Amino acid sequence: MSRSSYVDAREAMRLCSLPSNQALGETLTSLADEDEDLTVVVSDYGRRLFLDGLVERHPEGFVQVGIAEQDQVSIGAALALEGFPVFAPCYASFVASRSFDQIRVNLGMMGAPLVLVGLSARYDSADLGASHCATEDVALMRSVPTATVITPADNAELASAIRWLAAHPRPAYVRITGSTTETCLHASGCDVSAGGVTQLREGSDVALVACGQLAAAALEAADILETTDVSASVTEMAIVSPLRENELLHAIRGKRLVVTVEEHGVVGGLGSAVAEVLSARDDVPPLLALGTPRSYLDGGDVRQALLTNDGLDPWGIASHILERLERSKKR
């Protein structure tokens, strides 16, 4: 597929006005219009993905396996190994954890170039209970040596990632948090193929490194910190695995503290990925990893309220950082 992964400014703003599942469905449909081999394999969830145009114009490119996520991965992998560009979207909690043995064998050992798309990760599905709130999906997918793991910050970056993976199939996992994007962090355009690293703000004291939709919260937290005379840079890293080490080291150089922010457990997620890089060096600042609590969610509340409760809204992030800096002064 020859289509560029670049999303221009006009398209970025349009995509960021849509729910993420609609942005995903429209992107997959437009790609199928260009390449009739493109295939989407779903496990019941497909009716919520705005794929009506794809189903109508390319019925052979739509495979519905029912509520059977393990079959979804196995069938998708088989088609991918036959040369079809294949995407398998599903709830993040099910496509990663319930199907992990199939992922480990088919994507890991066999190298099937299947792209898994995990929707409604963590707080977005809180009303459905802990079983639907993925907090370990990135950790699982990072453990597969062949897998590229991408956590877009907005719908422009999501569309760019999907286009890139359609043009360059590989074992991959794209993680979506939130049903809509609160802001558009790539209003001037986006191209994931350039490395998936975006410098959102310069700063001299603290380096915030964020992924997913919490990159927007990290940016607002930097504004709050500025009012306390703490200068914070913000770097958004869409590609969590393999992590771009050179870009990370450039972002944290000369800082007093590195802070990772993610809507995922810090064990195995972006925080762990950054810690793995820092642990091999002596010339780096300390790390504060912010993420979801090490507990299962009871559910029943809205996403923003849960983020606030767990200290992952802008004020919570800023408060964690100020507390850590204050502790450092007392040592």
Q: Indicate the domain borders of the chain.
A: 9-175, 196-330
Checking if the pLDDT of 133 tops 80, the result is: no
Say what the pTM is: 0.95
Evaluate whether 9-175 and 196-330 have a shared fold.
yes
Checking if the pLDDT of 12 tops 50, the result is: yes
CATH code: domain 196-330 is 3.40.50.920
DSSP H or E run through 52: helix 52-57
Binned at pLDDT 50, 70 and 90, residue 304 comes out as confident
Lowest mean pLDDT among 155-169, 179-193, 270-284: 179-193
CA distance 132 to 169: 28
pLDDT in tens, 99-128: 999 999 999 999 999 999 999 887 777 676
CATH code: domain 9-175 is 3.40.50.970
pLDDT at 294: 83
Peptide bond into 85 cis (omega under 30): no
CA distance 242 to 72: 25
pLDDT at 331: 66
Q: Is 184 helix (H, G, I), strand (E, B) or coil?
A: coil
Checking if the pLDDT of 1 tops 50, the result is: no
Largest CA distance in the chain: 65
Overall average pLDDT of the 127-132 stretch: 70
pLDDT at 2: 43
Checking if the pLDDT of 182 tops 70, the result is: no
Mean of all residue pLDDT scores within the chain: 92
